[in-house]
Structure 1
Amino acid sequence: MDTHSISLIITLLLVFFSAICGGIVAKFLKQPTLLGYIAVGVLFGNLLSRWIDQSFLQTIADTGVTLLLFTLGVEFSFHRLRKILGSVVWAVTAQMFLSMFVCFLVLLGVGLEFLPSLFIAVAASLSSTALAVKILSERGELETLHGEIAVGWCVIQDLSVVPVMLLLPAIVGVQASGTATITATILVVVMSLVKAGLALALIIFLGRKGIPRLLNLVAGLGSREIFLITTIGIVFLAALITYALGLSTALGAFIAGLLISETSQNHAIFAEVRPLRDIFSVVFFVSLGMVLPIASVVHQAPLLLGMTFLVMIVKWFLVFGLSRYMGYHRKTAFLVAVALMQMSEFGFIIAKVGSSLGVLTGDRYVFLVSLTFFTMFVGTPLLAGGHAVYYLFYRTIGKLLPRLFSSKQELTPNREELPIKNHIVICGYGRVGKYIGRALDMAKIPFLVVEYNQATVSELRSKGIQVVYGDPADKDVLDFAQVDFARAIVIAIPDRHTQEMIIGNAQTLNRRIRIICRTHHEEDQRHLKSLGVHTIVQPEFEAALSVIERILPEFGVTPEDLSGKISRLKIEHGLG
């Protein structure tokens, strides 16, 4: 075995060892694994640089980013986009342009050149879909109002990557040609936007017509190997075509993913490609860290920390203000803004594109990668503890800030007492709360809903259902809902911190009230019991019992034996 082959093997070993160590550290710190990959990559890349084959690392990293963008495209949902397109697309556009403008001016002001400032500002305007979806899903908040808005916001930003990837190289070309007049720049921007519009139109057309037919034909052969090879072929063919047109190969892969996302085989394709994506994307993130010189990061630390703070505050303020302007409750607006504070994984990809175009060299490339890393590192725990951060904020700094776009209902205090007693208060009228309300309505049991989704409140009022608009964790809101005269309160909100505040306020208003609470986590049951919750319902456990009640009788289990087994399960689960 020659020296070059040994160098390649050592490089791969270091990459995978870095990934394992980084993944373990990230899991221990409850951070996204990609942050661990980059951090340990920085450490190993600086300590063991002489053992690493940089050209080989660059080649497999480029392959990794191609597959990474392809799978991001496959996961893209036009259906999800249509659901929120009319309501937030203008707000997303405004947020991106204003974020870019502010960051661009600040970067120019601190001495960065025009093109590096532009690339960094564009990257700063995007937010991470992967982080938002992962954390919201873990907390059971993906289908809540703020979860849907945040994910929809990210989806529209992801779609904007297509024109961004077209515009940036075009502007670089104008600057390089020496004809960077205002007229020439505007002409290039207009032409690039036209190209982007045609590209999106082609994506939609082929995604509905051409690609599905090809994949149906290949799927009909019944061979997984041919199906996988065809899929990978589509990815690299799209990357090659965009490269031939003078565009980024990563853009071609993303477009290929968008095409396939509209086919009926998209889930099967994602399952087939995901192992390859995972391996190569790990290499990509580790390689990002390995090429970052620690000395350069330390040298730029003051500017990095300042820009991290600026980017996150600017994006939070813009998203919060725009959400309030659209009529969302301040808690919804706050949680959406927190979910979008961090930069996107596309920041790493824009850094790669800028490096390949010769725009982001040396310290500028290190600055963008480090800035993306820092905002994600700081933003992740803020998003994970979003509800606690919200209540802490409004108990402290929030009192000093002016009210932004407050609705008439929020500004009008609840003075008149509602004519209701011996009722049930339902906190949250989402997937769980609406069925509880429907059952109580059929049983003619008086109930009242506390909800801060304005659309839900309007719908309930149109149906004649009593509802209070406000945050159920607010003691004044619960007082107006006549909790002191209620027989029971149902907490159908999944967030633990909000649950704790509702429980405490409800018990302060009415010591005899019966509290029924949902939870997604078994470990929260003992804690909720200690707070005085009478009945705890875990939806996943109840679903399991429902399946058991249906399947065991088919295997000859008697009703008495079935009842005994279910009782045993409840005891083991802590509900006996």
Structure 2
Amino acid sequence: GPVALATGLGQIVFTSLIGFVIAIAMDMSYLSAAYVSVALTFSSTIIIVKLLSDKKEIDSLHGQIALGFLIVQDIAAILALVGLTTLGASVTGEDSGYLSLLMIGAKGLGLLGAVALLMKYVIPYLTQRLSNSLELLTLFAIAWAVLLGASSELLGFSREVGAFLAGVSLASTAFRDSIGARLTSLRDFLLLFFFIDLGARLDWSMVGSQLGASLVFSIFVLVGNPLIVLMIMGGMGYRRRTGFLAGLTVAQISEFSLIVAALGLSIGHITEETMGLITLVGVVTIFLSTYMILYSYPLYRVLSSPLKIFERRNPYREADIDTFAETGAVDVILMGLGNYGSGLMEHLLRRKNAIVGIDFDPGALDMWRKKGVPVLYGDMADPEMHEHLPLKKAQWVISAVRSKEMNLALIHNLKKDGYTGKVALTATNSQEAAEFEKAGANLVFRPFKDATEQAADALTYAMDFLPKSVDWPVSFLELRIRSDASSAGQTIRELPLSALGISILAASRGGRIFYEPTPDFRIFPADRLLLMGHPAGLKDAETILNHLEARRDAEDTDRFEIAEIKVSEDSDFSGKSLAELHFRQKFGATLVGIRRGQNQITTINPAERLQGGDCLIVIGKSSTIKELKSLAPV
């Protein structure tokens, strides 16, 4: 969008100008300074995509903005390569410059026109035909990139120009996500050879003489480029955190920088020393910026306060996603609205829970906002985001994100903010679950473990034991009882299935099968029932059995409370044992302990006799505790 274009072009202009001034100040020639300044402007898209994908931030706001201005950089790099190719061809003869320029221009337009026609009429048809086989689709994508790369080189351009056009053409198809997913491992494998080539370019005999200059330019790229992006995005109304995280993605030079330098070397514009300088800057910045991106959140926490000068008083670009319509009671704050989080959101909404959703994917936020769910843009690891959350109202804070570092940071920040509710985190394995529980999580979800248990239940279901075909007008239906179904907890006798002509042949629970269950058989959530009857009756039975509760009963919403009830000196309770008082049966509350003077009785014996002045520690429903408090002292 506009922010990607403005940031990309602005960063290119400012970086090249400042880099040129620094190079001139270091006594470089104007031509060498121009090449160095251009090389400093381009950042490595392939490395950034790899890092953001690994951190699962590719769909975040700062991730989308970063990808946008990196594409702008790539387009500028392609234009620079075409220009240098034309310039290189023109130096072959004094009178052939204009002719070479016309020839290169004609070849470039011809290549673009051919790719455009193929994108419109051929590639969609081919990808559609090949989509039945992912292997063929992947091979076609690779072959197409190689073909365009070779054609581009044959026409006098660099291979990278053709490869870029191949990527653009494949991105226009309906199968770009499938192709991208299949090429991920190949991308990571080929990235290894990029670093091998980068290391091979280093001439160690020149490193010593270029060490000082490379240090200056590396600091400029590592610090200056992110600051340029931060200032541009801050001026456009984005928060400093978004600008900082996006800015870190330009803290290294690109493979295009090395290609531009290599072209300049081949046509005699720069020397081996300048080429070595650019290569050394590439090695240093790629190495250090990788760790800056991997540890971007701790780095931001350290620099957050000084970076306030780059944030407008009203960061209006994110104002609409930083706030949400205030609600009354908030049952759950759900962080992470991906596949697992969205499924959890739907189930909680069906149970009439009041939920606030948190995610950094604008697409996910728009989807839930259209459904009327209050949502907020934010990163769960961002402590500043907690200022916008209704933590005092929420009973639960749930993380549906499977990230150990983010979950631990979340629970740390919640404790720091004084949150008194309960916390549920999502773990990928038992080791993470143990760490979360040790950190203070009240509940730990294990999606993969839970899913395997349900899969095992499904495989042991009684439906497998039915005959393959029945010569009779009868049908069968396998049905799983949902945890929020109104039939859960009822007996078969209480269900109106007989009126529909429906019989329950078997029920599966926890891997055990109950054949021909009796009318007193009680149905529980997650039970799998095998129904038999007429197709129309089976459809009605499915509706009845999985009918959702229309509302939450007042009894269900009654909370447990703990209170102290004092025994007066002249109380009828004094001198009597708990067994004699029938305390639980009489008051509907459980005695947890007794505070007697300086002593605490935590193990309750029914024969324990109460004394005047005792403080009874009781737990029960809020209505029961309220009634007991009205009687105090007893």
Normalised-by-shorter TM-score class = 0.5 to 0.7
Deviates more, 1:380-389 or 1:456-465: 456-465
Counting strand residues as a fraction of each chain, which structure ranks higher? 2
SS at match of 1:484: coil
After superposition, the Cα gap between the structure-2 partners of 1:421 and 1:520, relative to the gap in structure 1 and judged at 3 Å, is same
**Is 1:98 aligned to 2:14, yes or no?**
yes
After superposition, the Cα gap between the structure-2 partners of 1:546 and 1:270, relative to the gap in structure 1 and judged at 3 Å, is same
State the match for 2:292 in structure 1: 382
SS at match of 1:425: strand
C-alpha contact 2:237 2:317 (8 A) present in aligned 1: no
Q: Which of 40, 57, 66 is the matching residue for 1:141?
A: 57
After superposition, the Cα gap between the structure-2 partners of 1:149 and 1:549, relative to the gap in structure 1 and judged at 3 Å, is farther
* Equivalent residues in 2 for 1:291-440, closer than 5 Å: 291-395=201-305, 397-398=306-307, 401-404=309-312, 406-407=314-315, 420-421=328-329, 423-429=331-337, 432-440=340-348
**Is 1:129 aligned to 2:45, yes or no?**
yes
Separation in 1 of the partners of 2:331 and 2:188? 52
Separation in 2 of the partners of 1:376 and 1:148? 21
**CA offset digits 1:38-92 (Å, max 9, x no partner):** xxxxxxxxxxxxxxxxxxxxxxxxxxxxxxxxxxxxxxxxxxxxxxx46523432
The AA in structure 2 aligned to 1:309 is I
After superposition, the Cα gap between the structure-2 partners of 1:268 and 1:320, relative to the gap in structure 1 and judged at 3 Å, is closer
Separation in 2 of the partners of 1:272 and 1:512? 45
**CA offset digits 1:109-129 (Å, max 9, x no partner):** 322233333333333222222
TM-score, reference length from structure 2: 0.60
* Equivalent residues in 2 for 1:9-158, closer than 5 Å: 85=1, 88-158=4-74
The AA in structure 2 aligned to 1:119 is Y
Following TM superposition, by how much is the alpha carbon of 1:512 offset from its aligned partner in structure 2, in angstroms? Answer: 4.4
C-alpha contact 2:333 2:358 (8 A) present in aligned 1: yes
State the match for 2:609 in structure 1: none
C-alpha contact 1:329 1:452 (8 A) present in aligned 2: no
Q: Which of 208, 215, 218 is the matching residue for 2:120?
A: 208
After superposition, the Cα gap between the structure-2 partners of 1:480 and 1:128, relative to the gap in structure 1 and judged at 3 Å, is closer
Q: Among all aligned residue pairs of Structure 1 and Structure 2, give the percentage whose two residues are the same amino acid.
A: 22
After superposition, the Cα gap between the structure-2 partners of 1:134 and 1:479, relative to the gap in structure 1 and judged at 3 Å, is closer
**CA offset digits 1:379-424 (Å, max 9, x no partner):** 00111111111112115x336x353464259999x9xx96744622
Following TM superposition, by how much is the alpha carbon of 1:475 offset from its aligned partner in structure 2, in angstroms? Answer: 6.1
C-alpha contact 2:391 2:419 (8 A) present in aligned 1: no
Separation in 2 of the partners of 1:278 and 1:422? 44
SS at match of 1:483: coil
C-alpha contact 1:429 1:492 (8 A) present in aligned 2: yes
After superposition, the Cα gap between the structure-2 partners of 1:495 and 1:237, relative to the gap in structure 1 and judged at 3 Å, is closer
The AA in structure 1 aligned to 2:333 is V
C-alpha contact 2:238 2:316 (8 A) present in aligned 1: no
State the match for 1:166 in structure 2: 82
Separation in 2 of the partners of 1:304 and 1:389? 24
Counting helix residues as a fraction of each chain, which structure ranks higher? 1
Separation in 2 of the partners of 1:163 and 1:176? 21
State the match for 1:536 in structure 2: 444
Following TM superposition, by how much is the alpha carbon of 1:304 offset from its aligned partner in structure 2, in angstroms? Answer: 0.7
After superposition, the Cα gap between the structure-2 partners of 1:324 and 1:281, relative to the gap in structure 1 and judged at 3 Å, is closer
SS at match of 2:304: helix
The AA in structure 1 aligned to 2:117 is F
* Equivalent residues in 2 for 1:253-272, closer than 5 Å: 253-259=163-169
Structure whose CA Rg is larger: 2
SS at match of 2:119: helix
SS at match of 1:359: coil
Structure 2: where are the runs of 5+ without partners?
A: 466-506, 514-634
**CA offset digits 1:242-286 (Å, max 9, x no partner):** 345433244234434544555688899999999998888755643
Deviates more, 1:265-274 or 1:422-431: 265-274
Separation in 2 of the partners of 1:461 and 1:269? 31
SS at match of 2:252: coil
Following TM superposition, by how much is the alpha carbon of 1:155 offset from its aligned partner in structure 2, in angstroms? Answer: 3.5
The AA in structure 2 aligned to 1:303 is A
SS at match of 1:300: helix
State the match for 1:503 in structure 2: 411
Deviates more, 1:385-394 or 1:264-273: 264-273
State the match for 1:290 in structure 2: 200
Structure 1: where are the runs of 5+ without partners?
A: 1-84, 565-576
Q: Which has the higher contact order (CA 8 A, sep 6+)?
A: 1
Following TM superposition, by how much is the alpha carbon of 1:522 offset from its aligned partner in structure 2, in angstroms? Answer: 6.2
Task: Give the count of matched residue pairs.
Answer: 468
Separation in 1 of the partners of 2:428 and 2:417? 27
TM-score, reference length from structure 1: 0.65
C-alpha contact 1:104 1:118 (8 A) present in aligned 2: yes
Following TM superposition, by how much is the alpha carbon of 1:341 offset from its aligned partner in structure 2, in angstroms? Answer: 1.9
Following TM superposition, by how much is the alpha carbon of 1:494 offset from its aligned partner in structure 2, in angstroms? Answer: 5.3
Following TM superposition, by how much is the alpha carbon of 1:165 offset from its aligned partner in structure 2, in angstroms? Answer: 1.5
**CA offset digits 1:206-236 (Å, max 9, x no partner):** 233345667899x79x9x99x96x9887666
After superposition, the Cα gap between the structure-2 partners of 1:263 and 1:457, relative to the gap in structure 1 and judged at 3 Å, is closer
Deviates more, 1:261-270 or 1:317-326: 261-270
State the match for 2:435 in structure 1: 527
Following TM superposition, by how much is the alpha carbon of 1:473 offset from its aligned partner in structure 2, in angstroms? Answer: 5.3
